[in-house]
Every structure is written in C-alpha cells, then in structure tokens.
Structure 1
Amino acid sequence: MSFAEQLHRLQAFLDADELHDEALDYVAAHGYLTALSICAETVPDREWIDALFAEPPHYADDAQHQEIEATLIQLKAHIARQLASDEEFELPCDLDLGDDPDDSELRGWCIGFMEGVFLRESAWFENDEEEVSEMLLPIMVGSGLFDEQPEFADIAADANLMDDMIVQIPEALTALYLLLQAPDEKPAILKPRHH
C-alpha cells in the first residue's frame, strides 16, 4: 500500500465520528505532529499517540491498530523531512480561517499544533522564550485558544491583521524548526552553499 493510500485510510479513521470528542482529527493531528517534529525534546511514540486519541480508539482489529499507529509515525517522519527541506512547508489545509474561524480546518490545525506544544511546553520555551513566543504567535492567533487575552482579542478583531499573521505560519514553522532543531546552523544559511 502506498503512503498516499495509508494517509487516506488514516484520514478516514481520524475524521470518523466514532472517535472520542477530544481526539484530534486528521488536520489537527497533522498540526500536532508538526509541533512534535519541531520540539527539541523527543516525545515517546506511545505517549503522543495516546494523547492524540484522548482515549484508546475502537480498532476493528489488531491489524488496523498497527496500521493506524504505524501510519501516524510515518506521517510524523514525513513532516520532519518536510521541515528539514529547503522547500516552504505545506499545510494540509488552506491558510485561511474563512467566514467561520471555529469551523475552519486551519483553526483545527493550529489547535493541534498547540496541543503538541503543550505536551512538552518547557522544552519549547527553555532557551529562547521570547523568540519562540514571537514565532508561535501566528499559530497561537490561528488557534483561537488565546482569544480571551486582550492582545489576542485585538488581533482577532482585525481581519486584515489576522490574515497577515496567518500567512506567516509556514515561515514561522521553518524558523521554529531551525531554532529548536538546528540552533548551530543558523549562520550557515547566510553562507553560499558549496556543492
């Protein structure tokens, strides 16, 4: 079975209504795995898989159980490779909150990402708290989780500002990845590449 087919099956599984209310759907799971791939501290597979589902899902059989978990682990590795490449990171949804942000896939992706951050919050902020917070801002804004805080409420009330921030998410992801995964490589980006 190709990776694309595996992903398709994973998506159908995660987007089904049978899952626990707090389980992440496919787009949110993608955000969550993106955060886990960026975090400097590796979270054990068992821990993040269990947290993703909130409670153990009802698998049809052991084969499905193994397949879904294996595909999640592969997807995480795929996302990590994307982050490490020179190409702009592509989200599995439009960079747009639409007319009803709470229903948008992007909001789900951002919430999933923040769930991944919360899993190891201290590891994100221990070294460059200010820089990381700044880079996380577009994702935090997109998630709507912080709208009760005055500064976020102000941004959320300004549609143009929201849009400007949201489109920065792919850039922010690359910057976060370099900052947390390859802190020593920063100057190398400025040097000409030697082939």
Structure 2
Amino acid sequence: MTADWMVSPSDNELEELDRFLRAHAGDEDMLLDGVHGFLTALAIGPVPAKPEEWLPEILHEPFADADEGERVLTLLARLNDAITPELETGSYEPILGELEVEDGPPAFTARGWCEGFSRGIDLRAPSWEGRLGQDSELMELLSPIIALAIDDGVFESDADFAPLGDEDYDECLAQIPNAVGAVAEYWRSHPLAADETPGEGGALPPRRRGGRWVH
C-alpha cells in the first residue's frame, strides 16, 4: 500500500468520484453524500466492516477497464480511511447535498448523508438495535441525526414531530460532527459484550425505502 492511499481526497477528487457515482447510479443507489454517511456509520460503529462487505453496497456495475477500477477504489478507500483521523483531529465534516433555492444561494441538505448513515446502521443492525434497546444514551447522542433524518423523510416515525425550521435545521447540521464523534467515543467506551443480542424497542425509526433523491 502506498503512502498516498491514506490521504483524504481533494475537492477535485471528490468531484471526480461524485461524477462517477452519478453516472452509474440506479434508483436507490447512493451518491457521494450517501456514501460518506454510509462509511461514517461503519467507521464509528460497534463492529468494523471490511471493504468486501461495504463495496457491494456502493458499486453495482463492472468497471469500464482496470484503470477506472483502480482509480475509483483508491478514491473510495481514501474517503473511508480519512473518517477516523478527521474525527480524531476535529476536522470531520459531513458531505452534504445542495438544494436549489429561488433568489438565493443553494441550501445544504442532509437527506443523502442521513440515508447513507442509516444504511451503514442497517449493515450492523443487530448490534445497533440491541444497544439502542438497552441504553438511551446512544439514542440521545444520535438525536441531531435522527431529527434531520425524520425531517427529510429518511426515517418514518409514529411520533408527532414538528418540521424543523430553517434555524433548527441548520443547527442540527452543525451538530453532525460532534454527534458523530460522540457516537464513536461511545462505542469505544462501551464495546459490545460477547453475549449481547438485539433488544426490544428503542431502535431507530424505520428507514423509508424507495424513491430517488436528486440533488
């Protein structure tokens, strides 16, 4: 493995990866913001995931050639490998989508990132759900992400949640890095017990499936 494998992708490289994902995305496939949320959930979660587990969730078509394959895999590896060091140095920022706004600059949206994050939890659902059913602290740490996900329609909830105002939405966006870091620290401090199994209740609301999110 070369040293530059571990370097975070530059803005130009993220745009390159974004173009590739957009060109090969099906109706329910993740784009760049979703991939970042997905890899973030796996990086901070209770059980590490190997590339052979998470790559099939992102890539669904053969590469055009070996050079394209090597390039895309390298960029995905850099994106993934940068998450933990960024959290440790306080430089982590979620990759967010943009919405066109009349008479104003584009607005940031966490919908794609939250959708990917929920898929990362899905990949380790028994571990997450078991702990969420036993420890309300974890749910509290996730609360800004859950609020955004419910507001954007990623999660469905039986509870009556009032829509977030613009200021509240932006505040929740600003809280994502701290929430992600706190959840990572939670799992480091409270690892799974050998006999830990999924519990009843307390799990995240069900994720809405179907529908395409277009930036």
> TM-score normalized by structure 2?
0.68
Q: Which structure: greater helix fraction?
A: 1
How far, CA to CA, are the matches of 1:76 and 1:22 in structure 2? 21
What are the residue-to-residue correspondences of 1:119-134 with 2, within 5 Å? Answer: 119-127=123-131, 129-134=135-140
* CA deviation after TM superposition for structure 1 residue 88, in Å: 4.8
How far, CA to CA, are the matches of 1:70 and 1:176 in structure 2? 27
Change (3 A) 1:127 1:97: farther
- From 61, 71, 76, give the equivalent of 2:80: 76
* CA deviation after TM superposition for structure 1 residue 107, in Å: 1.1
- From 116, 120, 126, give the equivalent of 1:112: 116
Instruction: Give CA-to-partner distance per residue, 1:50-101, whole Å, 9 cap, x none.
Output: 0123xx224221221222123212211101211122x15312237x9887xx
Q: Quick check: 1:23 aligned with 2:20?
A: no
Change (3 A) 1:157 1:142: closer
Kept in 2, the 8 Å contact 1:138–1:168? The answer is yes
Aligned length: 175
Q: Quick check: 1:52 aligned with 2:61?
A: no
Kept in 1, the 8 Å contact 2:45–2:187? The answer is yes
Which ranges of structure 1 fall in alignment gaps of 5 or more residues? 185-195
Kept in 1, the 8 Å contact 2:96–2:112? The answer is no
* CA deviation after TM superposition for structure 1 residue 122, in Å: 2.2
- 1:23 aligned partner, one-letter code: D
> Paired residue for 2:197?
none
Change (3 A) 1:75 1:150: same
How far, CA to CA, are the matches of 1:80 and 1:88 in structure 2? 10
Q: SS in structure 2 opposite 1:168?
A: helix
Instruction: Give CA-to-partner distance per residue, 1:13-39, whole Å, 9 cap, x none.
Output: 1122x3222211011111111111101
Moved more, 58-67 or 108-117: 58-67
Q: SS in structure 2 opposite 1:167?
A: helix
What are the residue-to-residue correspondences of 1:105-184 with 2, within 5 Å? Answer: 105-127=109-131, 129-143=135-149, 144-146=153-155, 148-151=156-159, 153-156=160-163, 160-183=167-190
Moved segments of 4+, more than 6 Å: 96-99
> Paired residue for 1:39?
45
* CA deviation after TM superposition for structure 1 residue 175, in Å: 0.5
How far, CA to CA, are the matches of 2:114 and 2:99 in structure 1? 11
> TM-score normalized by structure 1?
0.74
Which ranges of structure 2 fall in alignment gaps of 5 or more residues? 102-106, 192-215
Change (3 A) 1:19 1:158: closer
Change (3 A) 1:154 1:46: same
